[in-house]
Amino acid sequence: AQKVTQAQTEISVVEKEDVTLDCVYETRDTTYYLFWYKQPPSGELVFLIRRNSFDEQNEISGRYSWNFQKSTSSFNFTITASQVVDSAVYFCALSGDGSSSNTGKLIFGQGTTLQVKP
C-alpha cells in the first residue's frame, strides 16, 4: 500500500528563518512521482514540484529547495529566508507513473501548517 507521512503537524517560525518540512513515503512501485503542493486559505492546491523516482538530484528554485533521498524514502522541502506569504498548509504527495496501477491516484500526507510570523 502507498502511504505518505508528514510528521510535523504545525511549524511556526519568524520571518527570515529557514524551515524544513519533512515527508516520508512508502510504496511498492519501482518508479513513481513525488509532489509538493501549497494550500493557501483560499483552498486551491498550488503545485510546487514534481520529482520522478529515478531522478535523485536535489532541486533548487529560488528560496525553495527539495532533498530527495530514495534510500530513506524521504522527500523534504526547505524554505530559505521564510516570508509571511509562505504561511500556508503544505502537502507532500505520491503517485504511480504511467507504468503503475497507482497512476492517476495521488496519495497525500496529512499536511504541515506553516506559520511565518513577521
Binding-site ranges for another protein (CB under 8 A)? 4, 33, 35, 37, 42-47, 50, 91, 95-98, 101, 103-111
Which of 102, 98, 99, 53 shows the shortest CA–CA distance to 73?
Answer: 53
Shortest Cβ 98–another protein spacing (Å): 4
What backbone torsions phi and psi does residue 71 show, to the nearest 5 degrees?
-65, -30
Nearer to another protein, 82 or 90 (CB): 90
What backbone torsions phi and psi does residue 84 show, to the nearest 5 degrees?
-55, -35
Nearer to another protein, 73 or 80 (CB): 73
Nearer to another protein, 83 or 103 (CB): 103
The C-alpha torsion from 92 through 98 and 101 to 104, rounded to 10°, is: 50
Tell me the longest C-alpha to C-alpha distance in the chain. 46
Shortest Cβ 40–another protein spacing (Å): 10
Shortest Cβ 105–another protein spacing (Å): 5
